[in-house]
Structure 1
Amino acid sequence: MNFDIIIIGGGAAGFFTAINAAEINPHLKIAILERGKEVLTKVKISGGGRCNVTHAQFIPKELSLNYPRGEKELLGPFHSFMTGDTMEWFQKRGVELKIEDDGRIFPVSDDSQSIINCFLQEVERLKIKVFKGEAVQSFQQQDNIWHIKTKNTDFSAEKIMLAAGSNPKIWKLLKKLGHSIIEPVPSLFTFNITDERIKDIPGIATEAAVKISAKNINLASTGPLLITHWGMSGPGILKLSAWGARALETLDYKFELLVNWLPETTSEEILERLKELKIALAKQQVLKNAQFGLPKRLWRNLAQSVGIERDTTWANLNKKQLQALAKELTAGIFQVNGKSTFKEEFVTAGGVDLKEIDFKTFESKLYKNLFLAGEVLNIDAITGGFNFQNAWTGAYLAAQHIAKD
């Protein structure tokens, strides 16, 4: 089966490339090959089924800072296509978007199906062929034509786009062609912690940002923290997991986590404040008087962990207890023993070495008319719509080049 362009991978980057290329040049014969029974499966589950399309950061430099791998390389591309362009693209096609308080951008419908329907309508309108159940077994270039073999069919095209995500089989085939692959490790994961201080309070979240750092590694992040049945999650933890993806993998995800529940203040300042509370709240029970905006049950557990008993009043706190509480609030140590995947949104750090890609066009530097976008590259981001923005940007810029005759 002969086409002008074949896109391997029926996900976000694949569909976005196909639609944009077909709009620029309607005469092109374009096909998308998807190995699974369904297309756009990651789009469907993203953001808890709401599809976190992108993030409300409108300055290229600031946007690029959310990519532990790809920050430098994406800066140029973001000057050509980024958040505002993404929003305009979807809104032009009838998908209204909204910005939430934390900066994440979703369809107004709160349903990822809005994005999927938009893509499916566009491929139909533009007569783009979508083949499902076509797992690619090989691709090679002969006389400037790409030959692709799947389990069922032989395809050929002048240009191909690899948008197959973190598919090990595609990485293997690229390696065969001479591309360097950075071995993948998980990114965006939560921490497994068994600790009396958090054992009985899953679901408790801090409204304010918490500072967390991996002890003995130069790794820290700030953000709200969520206590779960298996340990800790929330934006602060996920950010740390993304930036520390490789370092934490070398530690087998066993390390000490330092938690500062009150990062805006020092341990000394907290101690002074506790001494003031000892006088101001003299007759009240410490455990029943949550301070510093911390959730009541979290405050109770942290206070108990330094030996403060149920009926202890503020007046009865001794110097040692005050010092221990100040330290617990600003430098609590938790032992991490393993990780868990964040929801179903499995993201990896790894993929095609970025030195081998031309970031003006997202074309391979090793092969003419071979383009790559999305997670197939060694690019990943923190949570919040940034991984999708990488897919939209790469796919859009590649499409501009692919669509040229």
Structure 2
Amino acid sequence: MINKDVIMVGGGAAGFFAAINIAAQNPELKVAILERAKEGLAKVKVSGGGRCNVTHAEFVPSELVQNYPRGEKELLGPFHQFMTGDTIAWFEERGVALKIEDDGRIFPVSNSSQTIIDCFLNEAEKHHVDIYYNHPVKTIEAENEQFIINTSEGFFSAKKIMIATGSNPKIWKLLEGLGHSVSQPVPSLFTFNIKDDRLQDIPGVVALDVEVRVLGTDLLSEGPLLVTHWGLSAPSILKLSAFGALELAKREYKFQIEVNFIKRSFDDCLEFLKSLKQGFAKKTVFKSTQFDLPKRLWHKLVLASQMTETTRWADLNKSQLEELASQLTTAVFDVDGKSTFKEEFVTAGGVNLKEVNFKTFESKLVKNLYFAGEVLNIDAITGGFNFQNAWTGAFIAAQHLSK
């Protein structure tokens, strides 16, 4: 049996961040991380295409929480204690320079997630945090004010533990054994699979600012839209998948979306097209790209509107004009299935938030049991928000675990 004062179960972002902060705040404590894989920080490594999207440039707690489909209410208080600015300062104090990109995402200046990983490994070594790789946890028992953790490599004991295993069904099972309830996990942050002639042969095309709604629901989002080989992606779609995670799972990922490519009303668009009919009479519609749309997308929408490549503006009849206005403002697509967004899979689901004290991130049911990160039923849209949840929860929990 190996005895420690505090054990983190899970060597990801939240586990490392908590362990380092506990050990730095109280060097007397024996702090350890148990990680099931042969190395930790796997999500940190792949996040942001290998650049690690550390957090997001949103500095007002009440606005930051709006990026969390689950956890919005619970994170407001914690974000007043530790949020984006604190994260930036924490890394910069340890020699990691960060930069803000135009879309608000924050990355290390080095553009490499290895910078963040090296920072964590150096800090863990500096503060004598013991890291046990290849130690999957089999059981967790609370007895006599101690936790006994059985791993594949032997037993550990600690007075206090923190669970930071992300979306891990086996660990959720163990937590249910300790009395916690877990919301059924469903995927969040995914792209939509769509087979449609209007999207054929134009992967890589981006419409910069569209509005997308899921028909039959009040789910609506806006932002860039990317055509992929299998359908649609980019922030407008990912936001819908996050906020609609439960609803879209219920529909087994078969539903319809309506896309407004130009964010104008049908009537407004129709009037504008009529004016083009006068002004561009002799030109072909196909070659007269409008509304700052990508040329290849305009071509597809024109051909879907009862026209050919040689149709001239002067020759358009009422129904063709209306059809083009409709393709531009209310184009309906059938979604059939989903695909993972890069390797950054995120899950909606986890430990019931009513069972956690968000002033400390301690369990309300089991004394000295703490949580941080995606093991809780908290998830965010893409852009560094899931990491900010991990840093905040881990930092606040560390303040209490280090006492």
Q: Provide the C-alpha distance between the structure 2 equivalents of 1:97 and 1:280, rounded to a whole number of angstroms.
A: 50
SS at match of 2:102: coil
Name the structure 2 match of 1:115. 116
Q: Provide the C-alpha distance between the structure 2 equivalents of 1:392 and 1:277, rounded to a whole number of angstroms.
A: 53
User: Mean alpha-carbon deviation: is it higher for 318-327 or for 48-57?
Assistant: 318-327
How big is the alpha-carbon RMSD for the aligned residues of Structure 1 and Structure 2?
0.5
Name the structure 1 match of 2:382. 383
Q: Provide the C-alpha distance between the structure 1 equivalents of 2:187 and 2:200, rounded to a whole number of angstroms.
A: 26
Counterpart mapping for 1:147-296 below 5 A: 147-207=148-208, 209-263=209-263, 265-296=264-295
Q: 1:41 deviation in Å?
A: 0.5
Deviations 1:168-192 (A, max 9, x none): 1100000111100000000000000
Name the structure 2 match of 1:320. 319
Runs of 4+ in 1 over 4 A off after TM superposition: none
Residue 329 in 1 paired to residue 335 in 2? no
Q: Provide the C-alpha distance between the structure 2 equivalents of 1:96 and 1:161, rounded to a whole number of angstroms.
A: 29
Q: Provide the C-alpha distance between the structure 1 equivalents of 2:54 and 2:207, rounded to a whole number of angstroms.
A: 25
Deviations 1:151-172 (A, max 9, x none): 1110000000000010111000
Q: 1:331 deviation in Å?
A: 0.4
Q: Provide the C-alpha distance between the structure 2 equivalents of 1:235 and 1:358, rounded to a whole number of angstroms.
A: 32
Deviations 1:276-324 (A, max 9, x none): 1111111111101110000001001001001111111111111111111
Name the structure 1 match of 2:37. 36
Q: Which amino acid aligns with 2:113?
A: S
Q: Provide the C-alpha distance between the structure 2 equivalents of 1:155 and 1:252, rounded to a whole number of angstroms.
A: 42
TM-score (norm 2): 0.99
Deviations 1:64-119 (A, max 9, x none): 00000000000000000000000000000000000000000000000000000000
Counterpart mapping for 1:71-90 below 5 A: 71-90=72-91
Q: Which runs of 5+ in 2 are unaligned?
A: none
Q: Provide the C-alpha distance between the structure 1 equivalents of 2:5 and 2:307, rounded to a whole number of angstroms.
A: 72
Q: 1:364 deviation in Å?
A: 0.2
Deviations 1:140-161 (A, max 9, x none): 1111111100011100000000
Q: Which amino acid aligns with 2:326?
A: K
Q: 1:336 deviation in Å?
A: 0.3
Q: Which runs of 5+ in 1 are unaligned?
A: none
Q: Which amino acid aligns with 2:329?
A: T
Give the % identical residues.
62
How many residue pairs get matched? 402
Name the structure 2 match of 1:68. 69
Counterpart mapping for 1:101-140 below 5 A: 101-140=102-141
Q: Provide the C-alpha distance between the structure 1 equivalents of 2:153 and 2:27, rounded to a whole number of angstroms.
A: 28
TM-score (norm 1): 0.99
Q: Which amino acid aligns with 1:132?
A: Y
Q: 1:225 deviation in Å?
A: 0.2
Q: Provide the C-alpha distance between the structure 1 equivalents of 2:207 and 2:85, rounded to a whole number of angstroms.
A: 31
SS at match of 1:52: coil
Name the structure 2 match of 1:399. 398
Q: Provide the C-alpha distance between the structure 2 equivalents of 1:26 and 1:284, rounded to a whole number of angstroms.
A: 76
